Amino acid sequence: MTDTACILGCATTTLSPVEQAFFRDVRPWGFILFKRNIETPGQVRALTDALRACVDRADAPILIDQEGGRVQRMGPPHWSRYPPGRAYGDLPGNDPLMRREITRLGARLLAHDLAAVGINVDCVPVLDVPVAGAHDVIGDRAYGATPQTVALLGRAAAEGLIAGGVLPVIKHMPGHGRAGVDSHLSLPVVDADYDALDRVDFEPFRVLSDMPMGMTAHVVYTAVDSRRPATTSRRAIRQVIRGAIGFDGLLMTDDMSMKALSGDFTERARAAHAAGCDVLLHCNGDMSEMRALVAGSKPLAGRSARRAQAALARIARAPEPFDASEARARFAEAFEGRWAA
């Protein structure tokens, strides 16, 4: 059976009969979990098993936003607290190799936590480069303030996840760091000239263009397309994400329920697919919204299906050998005990 080219959420910590029936019928390519879906390790494992049973695919991707800092869906008392991206870039000393090592180690610990409960995709790393005066929706989620730092530490985070059997998702393409408003609430419009965007915003994504999955930004870049955000802009996806950046992995949208987008959910879905997005993301678990989104979605086929298959093929059959206790001690030492207790 063919999957639908979308990733969907569920409402609570268990699946309702209505959700089970809907997911069996629709067969979304994947699922995403949020804090509302998280209680204990055993409960999360049961939920990921139940989601995969709905689509009868043991390798169905189950995603989460587990960055650390402000964006961490799994936390104490059952899971460690992790730092935001900026904390890695701000580690003391003048040794970028040490910062890279600790960033990779932090991501490897995240992967260890996630894989244990059946989560195999993490929406990390954030490759946005924040600029002065921008909204703090990115802020300390970014690894640094230069494309070089963001690329170096973003690569380390991606490698740590892959080593632990978890796929990374580079986000938010082609760059959310200049946005003056939060795209969860309204539509950001960035007026920077193309050369500045290419030199700063696009560069970390270009460096990590070999990654298996990427997420679009609901941001208008007037130098590229003055009318549409990247998620629904054929020009932004073809000329920038696939062209200037050179990304040929599976391209998923940011959450389609965010207020940056306009139109009903069926219209949003059709516009994102028409622009070139392979897979649609819907996060809040609202059944009426998901039904409308699916009505505008399409079967996962052709080039998109090949990209999806290639992404899943990057999940290691066996994680890199790893001593979690030793790794946590090394990590805590680097941050002087402030994180990953």
- DSSP string covering 279-292, please? EEE--S--HHHHHH
How does the average pLDDT of the chain come out, rounded? 96
Q: Which amino acid is at 195?
A: D
8 A C-beta contact, residue 149 and residue 89: yes
pLDDT of residue 284: 97
pLDDT, mean of residues 255-259: 96
pLDDT, mean of residues 41-60: 97
- 218 catalytic per annotation: no
Flag the least confident range among 99-108, 181-190, 227-236: 181-190
* Whether the predicted pLDDT of 228 surpasses 90: yes
- 273 catalytic per annotation: no
Using alpha carbons, select from 110, 192, 107 the residue that is nearest to residue 156: 107
Of the listed 90, 184, 191, 264, which one is catalytic? 184
Of the listed 254, 255, 278, 282, which one is catalytic? 254
**Residue 178, CA distances (Å) to 18, 173, 243, 265 in order:** 41, 12, 21, 27
pLDDT, mean of residues 195-214: 98
Higher confidence at residue 36 or residue 337?
A: 36
pLDDT of residue 1: 79
In which band, very low, low, confident or very high, does the pLDDT at 94 lie, cut at 50, 70 and 90?
A: confident
8 A C-beta contact, residue 250 and residue 306: no
What is the rounded distance in angstroms from the CA atom of residue 193 to the CA atom of residue 175? 13
Q: Give the model confidence (pLDDT) of 98-131 as tens digits.
A: 999 999 999 999 999 999 999 999 999 999 999 9
Helix, strand, or coil (residue 30): strand
In which band, very low, low, confident or very high, does the pLDDT at 341 lie, cut at 50, 70 and 90?
A: low
